Structure 1
Amino acid sequence: MKIGILQTGHTPEELVEEFGEYSNLFQALFAGHDFEFVTFNVVDGVFPEGIQDAQGWLITGSKHGAYEDHAWIPLLEDFIRACVSENVPLVGVCFGHQIIAQALGGKVEKYEGGWAVGRQTYDFAGTEIALNAWHQDQVTELPPGAVTLASNDFCAHAAVLYGDRALTVQAHPEFDGLFLDGLINTRGRGLVPDTLLDAAEDTLAEPIANQTIADQFADFFRQERHQ
């Protein structure tokens, strides 16, 4: 199965040599699922010719806000709506989670409660799952028909399902402790309160459920769909 990665941000330059781009993190996350990948840097205005260029699409995280005024954001929203209309499966992570909600009629805002950084635990229908997060923006209102799959006290809509059309998560299942440590020390200091960054550093070695989410994403991509 061919998965198109719509890259909406770039790894900090200081981390590229060790970790690669965000698209590389997702390819590593899906190792063993026998997917083929193609990447489009939509953040730089590079888009696929159409939704038919892949059998499923994944939208990455970004330093940008879904509500910001960039020429590529309305184009990406149009692409999202085309996928939903034609029943081509979409997965969104962090910014991807937010832009899908916004494109379909939901609301994204800079959250008044501040940042979530590092290991967070979420209630997935009674099952506690821990994932690394890095966000200040949140989905504050769901689009019509969307269903919340996971939440915690800080993030009401931490995972969202749009029937068989889209599946999104606010956290970063592609981030392991090593990458998060690099992010803290390249983008975090001076932007995120030190108390949050210090707390995140204290949990870098604790277990996270990245593979659980990767398997859920893979199953979602592969599930049978009818127009």
Structure 2
Amino acid sequence: MKIGLLECDHVRDELRNIAGDYRQMFPALFLQVAPDWEFVFYDVCNGYFPESVEECEVYICTGSKNSVYDDEKWIERLNDFVRTIYQSGQGYIGVCFGHQILGEALGGKVQKSPNGWCVGVHSFELLKTEEWMKPPQPDFNLLMMCQDQVLKLPPDSTLLAQASNCPHAMFRVGNNMLGIQAHPEFSKNYDKALMELRIDRIGTEKVDSGITSLVLQTHELIIAEWIRKFVGQTVE
């Protein structure tokens, strides 16, 4: 199965020694549960898009330092491409920024969260269990690094999970598109390095709390397995 990674940013040079760039992080996670996936990389933040939505069966859209409402040509073009994926029936998985642009492109609303930054390990409550969510995990922990959130869901959405300070943490649009605000692809070392790098923006108290939370177990492999099953039913 061809998986198109829509790269909406790149890891800073001084942090790439931790886990590489996004084109290393995502395969490192998903190939553990889906060894038959073949990744194709599209540097969309630098203007390199698929020529046709049919190039891949599934697209994964990464996080970004940008906001989905920034006035950037590539973001406008990505909005259009997300709408094309929706209409085509191809699979789509949005992570953080990719989750937010799924909401924004299809009629929802993204803004800075009234709760401020979410960093470190956060606990998510599953609100709706679907067939592809196996093995079952009613509550799960994942790493976060965000300030923006989807505050209004788009039409044809099903809310799947929430966190205490992230009410729209995971949602599905139709049967082929899934968004998750957290970062299953991040390592704890990388999340910690980002917190320390952004301490002036995030604030000392939240960074200290976020770093302390890193002792908690995370469930990224379970979420990766869910995503594998979700896209499997999408492209059947």
- Identify whether the pair has TM-score above 0.5, normalized to the shorter chain: yes
Q: Equivalent residue of 1:74, what SS?
A: helix
Matched residue SS, 2:190: helix
Query: Offset of 1:224 from its aligned partner?
Result: 4.7
Pair 1:46–1:123, CA change in 2 (3 A): same
1:197 aligned residue: 207
Paired position in structure 2 for 1:57: 59
Q: Residue 41 of structure 1: CA displacement?
A: 0.9
**1:182 lines up with 2:193 in the alignment:** yes
Residue matched to 2:132: none
Gaps of 5+ in 1: none
Q: CA deviation at 1:17?
A: 2.9
Match of 2:174 among 143, 146, 163: 163
- Counterpart check, 1:10 vs 2:10: yes
- State the superposition RMSD in angstroms: 1.3
Other structure's SS at 1:191 match: helix
- Matched residue, 2:84: 82
Distance in 1, matches of 2:54 and 2:157, equals 24
8 A Cα contact 2:157 2:172, kept in partner:
yes
Please, what TM-score do these two structures have when normalized by structure 1? 0.95
Partners of 2:210 and 2:18 lie apart in 1 by: 21
What does 1:1-227 align with in structure 2 at a 5 Å threshold?
Answer: 1-32=1-32, 33-34=34-35, 35-125=37-127, 127-186=138-197, 188-225=198-235
Amino acid at match of 2:150: V
Separation in structure 1 between the aligned mates of residue 96 and residue 108 of structure 2, nearest angstrom? 15
Is the partner of 1:47 in helix, strand or coil? coil
Aligned counterparts of 2:38 and 2:113: Cα–Cα separation in 1 = 36
Are 1:164 and 1:225, in contact at CA under 8 Å, matched by a contact in 2? no
The answer on whether the counterparts of 1:130 and 1:209 sit within 8 Å (CA) in structure 2 is: yes
Q: CA deviation digits over 1:12-67, x for unaligned, max 9? A: 22111332111211111102312100111111111111111111000000010001
Q: Offset at 1:121?
A: 0.3
Task: Render the CA deviation track for 1:108-146: whole Å, top value 9, x for unaligned.
Answer: 001122111110001013711110101110101111110
Structure 2: runs of 5+ lacking an equivalent: 129-137
Structure 1 runs (4+) deviating above 6 angstroms are: none
**Rounded Cα–Cα distance in structure 1 between residues aligned with 2:65 and 2:154:** 23
Q: Give CA deviations for 1:180-227 in whole Å, capped at 9, x if unaligned.
A: 1221223x221111111111111223210101111111111111558x
- Deviates most, 86-95 or 17-26: 17-26
Identify if the C-alpha distance between structure 1 residues 224 and 128 changes in structure 2 by more than 3 Å, giving closer, same or farther.
Answer: closer
Whether contact under 8 Å (2:18, 2:189) holds in the other structure is no
SS at match of 2:100: helix
Task: State the alpha-carbon separation in 1 of the partners of residues 122 and 76 from structure 2.
Answer: 31
Identical residues among aligned pairs (%): 36
